[in-house]
A and B are shown apart, each in its own frame.
Chain A
Amino acid sequence: AQSVTQLDSQVPVFEEAPVELRCNYSSSVSVYLFWYVQYPNQGLQLLLKYLSGSTLVESINGFEAEFNKSQTSFHLRKPSVHISDTAEYFCAVSETTDSWGKLQFGAGTQVVVTP
């Protein structure tokens, strides 16, 4: 069975400062990896994904994440945050052997950006 650990439940950060959200997973097989963002009172929006290929993936709004197989990690980074990045961020994995593609989510990290 797989599991996902997000090490920080809340991350306060000043506007224009960098932020890193940590995600580690455990699985006996290879995985697909995802980051979702949830703005207040909204559903989950896909931020970025790793399915195969380059281990560094980027989103259109400046976030990036790097898949590190040896450390079983998929940390999310942004070099300069905006107030609008205030949201909850969820890391999720699905096992490549699971044809159903069920997602296992981490507990989430609440990012609060202040001026």
Chain B
Amino acid sequence: GAGVSQSPSNKVTEKGKDVELRCDPISGHTALYWYRQSLGQGLEFLIYFQGNSAPDKSGLPSDRFSAERTGGSVSTLTIQRTQQEDSAVYLCASSGARVQYFGPGTRLTVT
């Protein structure tokens, strides 16, 4: 079946602009996660959605970052007023039972 998909695959934006990154999880998976992968920080957890529960936002680095999940499926990660330190690969994962499956990621470059 189809895996986790993310769009766009690459995004170049100017400092100060807002960006939206999209994630389509595996059908039927109730849990959805966002991680960030950067050279200096490795793989970091950002936010987690599980069903209709309130999301775990404990990994979001600042209030410029937000995410939503509509209809228990597609998720959008929004970064407002992007900064150069936001440049990274943003990975989405979904899970049905403890095992997370990752999408190909969105490479964000802030110039």
A105 adjacent to chain B (CB < 8 Å): yes
Nearest Cβ on chain A to B90's Cβ, whole angstroms? 11
Contact: B102 with A36, CB < 8 Å?
yes
Chain A residues whose C-beta falls within 8 Å of the C-beta of B18 in the assembled complex: none
Chain B residues whose C-beta falls within 8 Å of the C-beta of A51 in the assembled complex: 98-99
Nearest Cβ on chain A to B32's Cβ, whole angstroms? 11
* Total A-B pairs, Cβ < 8 A: 52
Chain B residues whose C-beta falls within 8 Å of the C-beta of A107 in the assembled complex: 42
Contact: A108 with B42, CB < 8 Å?
yes
Q: Given A36-B102, A42-B104, A43-B105, answer yes or no on A101-B95 (Cβ-Cβ < 8 Å).
A: yes
Chain A residues whose C-beta falls within 8 Å of the C-beta of B105 in the assembled complex: 43
Contact: A43 with B91, CB < 8 Å?
yes
B25 adjacent to chain A (CB < 8 Å): no
Chain A residues whose C-beta falls within 8 Å of the C-beta of B91 in the assembled complex: 43-44
Convert A33-68 into 0s and 1s, putting 1 for each residue whose CB lies closer than 8 angstroms to a CB of B: 010100000111110010100000000000000000
Interface size on B, residues (CB 8 A): 23
One of B42, B43, B59, B101 near A46 (C-beta < 8 A): B101
Contact: B99 with A46, CB < 8 Å?
yes
A90 adjacent to chain B (CB < 8 Å): yes
Convert A51-88 into 0s and 1s, putting 1 for each residue whose CB lies closer than 8 angstroms to a CB of B: 10000000000000000000000000000000000000
Contact: B33 with A45, CB < 8 Å?
no
B31 adjacent to chain A (CB < 8 Å): yes
Chain A residues whose C-beta falls within 8 Å of the C-beta of B43 in the assembled complex: 90, 92, 103, 105, 108
Residues in chain B within 8 A of chain A (CB atoms) = 4, 6, 31, 33, 35, 42-43, 45, 48, 50, 56, 59, 91, 93, 95, 98-105
